[in-house]
Structure 1
Amino acid sequence: MAKSKVRKKAVYTPPQKTQKVEVSPRWLVPTMLSLWLIGLLWIATFYVTASTGTEVPLMTDLGNWNLGIGFGAIILGVVLSTRWR
């Protein structure tokens, strides 16, 4: 009977994970949620005041840029949510 060959290379053993688990900064979640809510409230306020005819001084001057401000805040909140661990 033929003898099996002896393995010449050592068996691969993956390196042990000794890295510390990364934790999100304490300001991240409150800032993320605040941006979402501010963006949502900004857009809602813009639509409600536009439909009822009441004027909010800052919003009247900006016109449709109000949508950009609201969606910009929401997008910044989403970008921050990608960094949450």
Structure 2
Amino acid sequence: VSTEAEASAGDVAKLIDQIRAEKIPAVFMENISDPRLLDRIASETDAKIGGTLYSDALSPAGGPAATYLDMMDYNVRTLVAALRT
């Protein structure tokens, strides 16, 4: 699912089918995205929401991804933690 355009119902259905077929353990949100679609996808599959990733925007100063290096470190730790369980 892209943050560039709203996903169609057909796109979402295909994604849900793919997550089920491939037994994807976790899906991730972007810090600038509306979580409602991902909540729906997670509720209709066995995937859990693995956390929020930073991609197009850093966190505020003092947050977990205030610099590019902090963002990369945070994203890797979030991915690993979600996929290990």
* TM-score, length-scaled by structure 1: 0.29
Higher RCO structure (Cα 8 Å, ≥6 apart): 1
* Bigger share in strand: 2
* Bigger share in helix: 1
* TM-score, length-scaled by structure 2: 0.29
